[in-house]
Chains A and B, each alone.
Chain A
Amino acid sequence: MSIDTSKSLYAVVFSVGDDRYALPAADLIEVLPLLTLKQLPQTPAWVAGLLNYRGEPVLVVDISTLMTGKPCRAIVSTRILLTSIQRRDGSGKVLGLMAEGVTGTVKILPETLRTSEIWNKSTPYLGLLAMHEGEILQIIHPDKVLTGDSRILLELADKE
């Protein structure tokens, strides 16, 4: 989902290492607490597992492992952000992002948004920077978290 930079943006903030990131609230379905996940063998380390969400399997990605290689700690502020992403055929799909330090939302004003001017092919999910109250928040695009080959993983969580 692209961001309308002329309007203020509400976002859920989380931490990866010492840095703070923002997930636009418009992309969010629900915030879940940390819970037991079914492990998926032979998948990359950043695949946290499968979640039973109201009887449907949902793939959960550990965003901290994906970005820094260090998994989220098992603490109360680690939560699972359920986001809606689009599949190639255009249909919607739920993806869970596990992140630490999920304690609130912020309102990001359009005039605080800056481009990072650094484009890294391996991190397409990193978006604009927001200069928010003295700290830098980087916006995350959940639909770009799984790209290329890793998108195949999505089909894993599908029923036959």
Chain B
Amino acid sequence: MQESANFIAAIDDCWNQIGVWSNTENRCPKLQEVVHCRNCPVFAASARKIFESRSLPPNYLEEWCRHYAAPPPLRRTLEHSSVLVFRVGHEALALPIGVIDEICQPEMAHRIPHYNTNILRGIVNIHGQLRLCFSMSELLGIDDAKPEADGKHRVFPRMMVIRRNESRFALLVDEVLSSRRYSHEDILPVPTSLSRALVKFVRGILQEGEQSIGLLNETLLFQALEKSLK
């Protein structure tokens, strides 16, 4: 330790003498070019020198020895799939990434006369194309109540455009959360506590921490959407 302290003392700390951390009038001419010492190669070279000569912290050798002596972390060879996780009411749900065409800001839907179901909200304009817009909470029978705002977390409602073959639909969701990878062994069975409307569409549960994510069956979802138009 003493040795490394001596070493650091021996380094020419020009940044404190003639650099941005000094009070002198005559500053280093290199500052014209690099503006700040932290952009300067001299500063970087000194930092590297200090880093390279740092002595080992206690138990460093033993800890790394134990770490690498352990068997390698299990590499999953099973096929992975990716899903997009979003929220509707209190439920976290997921659809395969492949069916998601785009995510955009929700727009005012233009109601269609004589199609006054709550599931179909109307027509929206997405890049000049008209798409049918559906409410996910109505379709899945999820109580629309928003989780209590905690003040830290801002919520952005979104419209997801999903596509299968040539049919594209816009879905209103309360929030798009993240994308996630899973392998088939991660899928847990559907609990019986789910509502009946929802249980039809959920083919499994992915657990992430305390959050249970309902994995939606996209085929059934498309069928239900098409059926609601008839």
Interface residues, chain A, CB within 8 Å of chain B? 15, 32-36, 51-55, 74-77, 100-101, 103
Query: Known interface pairs A54-B69, A55-B69. Does A36 touch B61 (Cβ–Cβ under 8 Å)?
Result: yes
- The smallest beta-carbon distance between A30 and chain B, in angstroms, is 9
Cβ-defined contact, A53 with B68, below 8 A: yes
> Chain B, 64-76, contact with A by CB distance < 8 Å: what is the 0/1 string?
1101111110000
Residues of B within 8 A of A51 (CB): 68
B1 at the interface (CB under 8 A from A): no
Residues of A within 8 A of B65 (CB): 35-36, 52
CA distance A33 to B52 in the complex (A): 13
CA distance A52 to B69 in the complex (A): 5
CA distance A100 to B48 in the complex (A): 13
Residues of A within 8 A of B51 (CB): 76-77, 103
B192 at the interface (CB under 8 A from A): no
Cβ-defined contact, A75 with B55, below 8 A: yes
- The smallest beta-carbon distance between A55 and chain B, in angstroms, is 6
CA distance A18 to B38 in the complex (A): 25
Known: A34-B61, A75-B55. 19 other contacts (CB 8 A): A15-B52, A32-B64, A34-B56, A34-B60, A35-B64, A35-B65, A35-B67, A36-B61, A54-B71, A55-B71, A74-B55, A75-B53, A75-B56, A76-B51, A76-B54, A76-B60, A77-B51, A77-B52, A103-B52
B62 at the interface (CB under 8 A from A): yes
Cβ-defined contact, A35 with B68, below 8 A: yes
CA distance A33 to B56 in the complex (A): 11
**Residue picked from B52, B53, B67, most chain A C-beta under 10 Å:** B52
Residues of B within 8 A of A76 (CB): 51-52, 54-56, 60
Cβ-defined contact, B54 with A32, below 8 A: no
> Chain B, 168-184, contact with A by CB distance < 8 Å: what is the 0/1 string?
00000000000000000
CA distance A35 to B148 in the complex (A): 50
Residues of A within 8 A of B69 (CB): 52-55
- The smallest beta-carbon distance between A83 and chain B, in angstroms, is 16
CA distance A76 to B64 in the complex (A): 12
CA distance A32 to B67 in the complex (A): 10
Query: Known interface pairs A36-B62, A52-B65. Does A101 touch B71 (Cβ–Cβ under 8 Å)?
Result: no
Residues of A within 8 A of B48 (CB): 103
Residues of B within 8 A of A101 (CB): 52
Residues of A within 8 A of B61 (CB): 34-36, 74
